[in-house]
A = this chain, B = another copy of it.
Amino acid sequence: MPIRIVLVEPQHPGNIGAVARAMKNMGLRELHLVKPALFPHQEASARASGADDVLDAAVVHERFDQAIADCGLIVGTSARQRHLPWSIVEPRECSAQIIQSSRDQTAAVVFGAERTGLTNVELDRCHLLMTIPTASEYSSLNLAMAVQVVTYELWLAARPGAPPPPERDVPLASAEEVSRLYVHFEQVLEEIDFKDRTGGGHLMARIRRLFNRAQLDQNEMNILRGILTAVQSRRRPAGKV
Contacts and interface: CB of A to CB of B under 8 A. Distances in A.
Size bracket of the A interface: 20 to 34
A222 interface: no
Contacts of A145: 18, 21-22, 25, 144-145, 148
A202 interface: no
B92 A140 contact: no
Interface stretch (A97-105, A118-126, A127-135, A230-238): A127-135
A204 B140 CA distance: 46
Interface string A126-164: 000000111101111110110011001001100100000
Nearest to A47: B142
Contacts of A134: 25-27, 155
Given A144-B145, A145-B18, A145-B22, A152 B138 contact: no
Given A148-B149, A149-B149, A25 B141 contact: yes
A226 interface: no
A66 interface: no
Contacts of A47: 142
Contacts of A140: 25, 49-50
Interface string A49-82: 1110000000000000000000000000000000
B21 A142 contact: yes
A24 interface: yes
Given A134-B155, A152-B132, A152-B149, A25 B92 contact: no
A50 B31 CA distance: 28
Nearest to A91: B152
B149 A133 contact: no
Contact of A133 (B132, B138, B148, B155): B155
A137 B27 CA distance: 8
Nearest to A22: B145
22 contacts: A18-B142, A18-B145, A21-B141, A21-B142, A22-B145, A25-B134, A25-B138, A25-B139, A25-B140, A25-B141, A26-B135, A27-B137, A47-B142, A49-B142, A50-B138, A51-B138, A132-B152, A133-B159, A134-B155, A144-B145, A148-B148, A152-B152
